């Protein structure tokens, strides 16, 4: 490893090249097919009424997100080209059919996650939206991801075509409410622009889900916990119904370069757990912690299993004790 790794640029104009250069040697997932979702699964989460919603989550295969956030490794599971018109609806049809063959009862909610923004026309062709709305109409709720800069009037025709029986929920990455770190993440947003996007969403009676990073780069664990809590507060102040806590993980080259400079390490398990307990204890909405890849946080298998059990219990019950 280079003992003197190049620092992350202070100047915004230089950051993208720095981030992209750190991808060297990291392969995209091989064999991605524009006519097949990369994955789908059943999950459940507490719903606003206090029950448990069954959810079908489909991870769509599409072109890479045009933003290049410092911490993002989702590009590894994307294509370099826009998919053909109709390919996304084919992916959804395939997952719906496979799910129906496996489960006698349809899920209540549908999540269409695309490692980017649903309303990015380079990722999901606009011409696919009417059929996607038709496919989603069988569900009580549709959750899609969206970069805050793509929130706006382009969303409304799709919301209308869903009909009254399917609630639309937009999932936005705030990442952190720390103003300096948020700027350094290269996401192209600040607290004000995020708040404006959230206000637009709530004004149009659309549900808001917010992703918060637990321990973004440049923070130690005590600071990370404080800012995770402040970010949860900020998300609820913006009208979020759900906050999803994502422990920051390496894997994109850029975070490894920062780690070599002592500027990044994944959160300690107790930081994630304390942030989740704080958010759940607020009782302002539902707060979940992402429990994937917990081995990056807790290498010991027994302690990891116990951590996973505690996190999943809090996720499920939404109450402390």
Least distance between ligand SF4 and beta carbon 121 (Å)? 15
Provide the 3-class DSSP secondary structure of residue 11. coil
Q: Which of residues 142-181 bind ligand SF4 (CB under 6 A)?
A: 147, 173
The end-to-end CA distance of the chain, in Å, is 45
Q: Given the structure tokens 């970069």, which residue do they identify?
A: 147
- Return the number of the residue (129 or 187) whose C-beta is nearest ligand SF4: 187
Helix (H) or strand (E) holding 207: strand 207-214
Smallest gap from Cβ 199 to ligand SF4, in A, equals 20
Binds ligand SF4 by CB under 6 A, chosen from 40, 59, 67, 236: 67
- The interface region with ligand SF4, picked from 61-69, 122-130, 234-242, 248-256 by CB under 6 A, is 61-69
| Stretch binding ligand SF4 (CB under 6 A), from 11-19, 67-75, 222-230, 302-310 | 67-75
Binding ligand SF4 (rule: CB under 6 A), the pick from 53, 74, 259, 282 is 74
Interaction between residue 69 and ligand SF4 (CB under 6 A): yes
Q: How far is the CB of 148 from ligand SF4 (least distance, A)?
A: 9
DSSP summary character for residue 270: H
Tokens representing 228 are 């995770």
Please, where are the H alpha helices in 238-319? 254-260, 269-282, 301-317
Helices marked H in 217-283 — which ranges?
Answer: 221-237, 254-260, 269-282
Asked if 267 is part of the footprint of ligand SF4 (rule: CB under 6 A), the reply reads no
- What is the maximal distance between C-alpha atoms in the chain? 58
Q: Least distance in Å: CB of 313 to ligand SF4?
A: 28
* Site residues (CB under 6 A) for ligand SF4, limited to 108-127: 115-116
The answer to the question of residue 216 lying near ligand SF4 (CB under 6 A) is no
Per-position b or e across 97-109, b if 16+ CB within 10 A of its CB: eebeeeeeeebbb
By CB under 6 A, which span of 62-70, 104-112, 221-229, 287-295 interacts with ligand SF4? 62-70
Report the C-alpha gap between 111 and 44 in whole angstroms: 11
Task: Please tell me the distance from the alpha carbon of residue 54 to that of residue 37, in angstroms, as a whole number.
Answer: 20
- Taking CB under 6 A as the binding criterion, the range among 33-41, 46-54, 65-73, 274-282 that sits at the site for ligand SF4 is 65-73
Query: Across the strands, what pairs with 55?
Result: 43, 109
Asked whether position 65 contacts ligand SF4 by CB under 6 A, the answer is yes
8 A C-beta contact, residue 169 and residue 142: yes
Decide whether 72 or 92 has the Cβ nearer to ligand SF4: 72
Instruction: Check: CB of residue 297 under 8 Å from CB of residue 266.
Output: yes
Residue 52, helix vs strand vs coil:
strand
When asked if residue 15 is in the footprint of ligand SF4 (CB under 6 A), the reply is no
Coil, strand, or helix at residue 306?
helix
Q: Which is nearer to ligand SF4, 73 or 226 (CB)?
A: 73
Among 72, 123, 124, 225, binds ligand SF4 (CB under 6 A): 72
User: Least Å distance between CB 68 and ligand SF4?
Assistant: 6
Q: Which of 141, 184, 187, 215 binds ligand SF4 (CB under 6 A)?
A: 187
CB of 108 to ligand SF4, least distance (A): 26
CA distance 250 to 100: 35
Using rule CB under 6 A, residue 70 touches ligand SF4: no
Applying CB under 6 A, the residues found at the interface with ligand SF4 are 65, 67-69, 72, 74, 115-116, 147, 173, 187
């Amino acid at each position: 490893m280079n003992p003197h790794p190049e620092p992350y640029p202070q100047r915004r104009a230089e950051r993208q090249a720095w981030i992209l250069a750190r991808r060297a040697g990291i392969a995209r997932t091989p064999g991605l097919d524009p006519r097949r979702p990369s994955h789908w699964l059943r999950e459940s989460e507490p719903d606003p009424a206090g029950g448990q919603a069954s959810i079908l989550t489909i991870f769509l295969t599409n072109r890479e997100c045009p933003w290049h956030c410092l911490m993002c490794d989702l590009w590894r599971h994307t294509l370099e080209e826009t998919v053909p018109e109709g390919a996304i609806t084919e992916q959804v049809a395939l997952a719906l059919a496979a799910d129906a063959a496996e489960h006698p009862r349809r899920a209540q909610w549908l999540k269409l996650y695309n490692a980017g923004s649903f309303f990015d026309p380079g990722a999901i062709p606009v011409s696919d939206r009417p059929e996607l709305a038709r496919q989603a109409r069988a569900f009580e709720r549709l959750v899609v991801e969206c970069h805050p800069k793509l929130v706006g009037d382009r969303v409304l025709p799709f919301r209308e075509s869903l009909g009254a029986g399917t609630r639309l929920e937009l999932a936005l990455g705030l990442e952190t409410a720390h103003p300096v770190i948020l700027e350094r993440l290269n996401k192209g947003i600040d607290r004000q622009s995020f708040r404006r996007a959230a206000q637009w969403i709530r004004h149009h009676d659309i549900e808001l889900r917010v992703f918060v990073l637990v321990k973004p780069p440049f923070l130690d664990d005590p600071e990370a916990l404080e800012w995770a809590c402040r970010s949860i507060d900020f998300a609820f102040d913006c009208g979020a119904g759900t906050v999803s806590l994502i422990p920051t993980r390496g894997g994109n080259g850029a975070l490894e370069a920062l780690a070599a400079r002592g500027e990044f390490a994944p959160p300690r398990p107790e930081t994630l757990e304390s942030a989740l307990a704080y958010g759940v204890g607020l009782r302002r909405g539902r707060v979940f912690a992402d429990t994937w890849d917990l081995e990056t946080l807790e290498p010991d298998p027994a302690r990891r299993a116990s951590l996973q059990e505690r996190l999943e219990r809090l996720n499920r019950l939404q109450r402390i004790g």
